[in-house]
Amino acid sequence: MNFDVYFMLSALQESLKYTWVTLLLAIVPFFFGILFGTVIAIIRFYRVKVLGELLQLFVVIIKGTPGMVMLLIVYFALIQGFDTISQTFHLAVKSKDINLIYIAFAALTLTATAAISETMRGALTAVATGQYEASYSVGLTKRQTLRRIILPQALPVAIPVLCSNLIGLIKGSSLVFMISVTDLMNAALIPANTNYKYLEAYIAAALVYWVLNVVVENIFFWLEQHLSTYKREVLV
Amino acid sequence: MIKITDIHKAFGKNEVLKGIDVEVAKGEVIVIIGPSGSGKTTLLRCINFLEKADSGKMTLGSTQVAFKHATSKEILAIRRQTAMVFQSYNLFNNKTALENVMEGLVTARKVPLRQAAEIGKNMLDKVGLADKHNAYPSRLSGGQQQRVGIARALALNPEVILFDEPTSALDPTLVSEVLAVMKKIAQEGITMIVVTHEMSFAYDIANRILFMDGGVIVEQGTPKDLFVNAKEERTKQFLKRIVPEWSYNI
Ligand SMILES: Nc1ncnc2c1ncn2[C@@H]1O[C@H](COP(=O)(O)OP(=O)(O)OP(=O)(O)O)[C@@H](O)[C@H]1O
Ligand SMILES: [Mg+2]
């Protein structure tokens, strides 16, 4: 076996050009996932009638759908739905004019929301009931209690899992080649399509993923330290 | 100033409060004693709606509520006229001692920050924690945490402070520092309802002692009335069990 280091380096170069796409594909769904996921977690945590149960169903369904299947369902649903609508209204835009990255955003956001809602729900249960009682006893409303006391304590608990969620999204975003979006992996593979040096291309892509993950891990480690200054340090 | 009439509370089939009447005058220090499971904690928790009583009425200052039908507005109004000191302190873990004391003032009552900080510092100084303003609860001893808890309650300047066994989670060596603070504020004319098993402390600070058993108030009176001249057999039995020496020493 001869490993073409030079080709790998050039694939790496291609990968790096598209790393921002991968980052975007992870960070945008992560951001919206935190937003929607936290809301879902709170609603389910407080056992809001009907809505809580509906959301539970939503989470179970999304969680049980493989990332690739989700991506393709959203892809076909949006494409077909869009064309039906644009036909009925005689619009000039067709589904093929949609930037496919939006479809990737939508699918990945669904996946991220379900996963992060579970992360946040777990973190909420980690806050002792005494914290609620003390808040109510000094006259805070439910909402003030959540915002001032509970969420700030739940967040540091959630951070390590959120980190895994984000890394999962970075890795999961590689599936967008299915709908022909060029991300860092796809960018590395394109030159290999002519010379079949796939091993070099995949290793190039893997190197970039590793670096990204190390960076993400470090950021979250710092965040965790920073957000839990109020805790007693554990001596190891 | 506080008047509670015919409060009932059951957990499932377990009837815990079976029609209790309590009246507390301004500045009065009431101590509630009684065996474990007699409903003391439940009574306190019903007063500030941490537990919802099944029936009964309460007047607190100018607020009147029927426990069962209290609206969330009424509940908030009651909570903003009461404060509670918990057995397990329940300080806000994510806030420093000073922030703990300021939280109710700033967030619930919209007191300006600077004024709240001043009140907070005064209260911490009063409970002997002048050097711990910026310490997080995780860095404080149990006794210090409980004193922050008391400062947090005091800062709200409530109509009444409810204490639920404030010293029973404490290391015996730390009990006295908390009791000393409580005694000090009792002498300042703060209205207090205290559940405690510290009998000599109860004897010392109470204007009136209520003896609860089986969800009712069996007997009440001044410390002397109760400890020396208890009329009810159940009270005598309880006191004999908890402080045998009282029977001879007073
Ligand atoms: N949340 C709850 N759910 C069900 N039962 C409860 C609950 N809280 C209290 N009880 C029951 O109510 C009864 C009275 O409890 P409470 O805590 O008021 O007693 P207490 O007088 O404070 O006792 P102690 O001196 O041990 O603190 C007990 O039988 C207890 O098991
Ligand atoms: Mg109790």
Nearest-atom number in ligand 1 for the CA of B165 is 27
> Position of tokens 């919206």?
A32
Chain A residue closest in CA terms to B87: A130
Residue A7 reports pLDDT greater than 90: yes
Residue A131 is which amino acid? Answer: Q
DSSP letter string, A196-213: --HHHHHHHHHHHHHHHH
**Sheet strands side by side (includes B160-164):** B82-85, B160-164, B192-195, B29-33, B208-213, B216-221
Q: Distance between CA atoms of A137 and A132, rounded to whole angstroms?
A: 8
State if residue B37 touches ligand 1 by the CB under 6 angstroms criterion: yes
Provide the pLDDT for residue A235. Answer: 53
Q: What is the pLDDT of residues B141-153, one digit of tens each?
A: 999 999 999 999 9
Dist. CA B195 → ligand 2 center (Å): 8
Contact between B193 and B163 under an 8 Å Cβ cutoff? The reply is yes
Q: What is the pLDDT of residues B190-244, one digit of tens each?
A: 999 999 999 989 999 999 999 999 999 999 999 999 988 889 999 999 988 876 6
Going by DSSP bridges, is the β-strand pair B216-221/B14-24 parallel, antiparallel, or unpaired?
unpaired
Bridge partners, B55 (sequence order): B8
Domain residue spans of chain A? 1-18+182-236, 22-177
Nearest CB neighbour to B93, from listed A133, A139, A230: A230
Q: Distance between CA atoms of B155 and A49, rounded to whole angstroms?
A: 37
For the segment A86-105, the average pLDDT, to the nearest whole number, is: 85
Q: Distance between CA atoms of B48 and B82, rounded to whole angstroms?
A: 7
Nearest CB neighbour to B92, from listed A131, A229, A232: A131
How buried is A203 (Cβ within 10 angstroms: 0-12 exposed, 13-18 middle, 19+ buried)?
middle
Tokens representing residue B120 in the block:
């907070």
Distance between B43 CA and the closest CA of chain A, angstroms: 15
Provide the pLDDT for residue A236. Answer: 54
State if residue B11 touches ligand 1 by the CB under 6 angstroms criterion: yes
Residue B188 is which amino acid? Answer: E
Tokens representing residue A65 in the block:
């759908």
State if residue B100 touches ligand 1 by the CB under 6 angstroms criterion: no
Mark yes or no for CB contact B109/A139 under 8 Å.
Answer: yes
Distance between B230 CA and the closest CA of chain A, angstroms: 34
Q: In sequence order, what are the residues at sequence separation of 6 or more whose Cβ sits closer than 8 angstroms to the Cβ of residue A228?
A: A156
For ligand 1, atom 7: residue with the closest CA:
B11
CB atoms within 10 A of CB A150: 22
For ligand 1, atom 27: residue with the closest CA:
B36
> Of B137, B151, B158, B210, nearest to B184 (Cα)?
B151
Whole-prediction pTM value? 0.89
Provide the pLDDT for residue A233. Answer: 58
Q: What is the pLDDT of residues A134-149, one digit of tens each?
A: 999 999 999 999 999 9
Nearest CB neighbour to B94, from listed A133, A139, A230: A230
Chain A residues in contact with B82 by the CB 8 A cut-off are 137
Contact between B150 and B124 under an 8 Å Cβ cutoff? The reply is no
Residue A98 reports pLDDT greater than 90: no
For ligand 1, atom 6: residue with the closest CA:
B11
Q: Distance between CA atoms of B45 and A27, rounded to whole angstroms?
A: 45
Distance between B132 CA and the closest CA of chain A, angstroms: 14
pLDDT band of residue A231 (cuts 50, 70, 90) is confident
Whole-Å CA distances, A213 to A157, A161, A167, A210: 20, 14, 6, 5
Provide the pLDDT for residue B250. Answer: 45
Contact between A139 and B104 under an 8 Å Cβ cutoff? The reply is yes
Distance between A137 CA and the closest CA of chain B, angstroms: 6
Query: What is the SS3 assignment for B56?
Result: strand
CATH architecture of residue range(s) A22-177: Orthogonal Bundle (1.10)
**Sheet strands side by side (includes B14-24):** B14-24, B2-11, B55-60, B63-66
Phi/psi-derived region of residue B128, left when phi > 0, alpha when psi is between -120 and 50, beta in every other case:
left
Give the count of Cβ contacts less than 8 A between chain A and B.
73
Q: Distance between CA atoms of B183 and B202, rounded to whole angstroms?
A: 10
Element (H, E) at A70: helix A67-88
For ligand 1, atom 5: residue with the closest CA:
B11
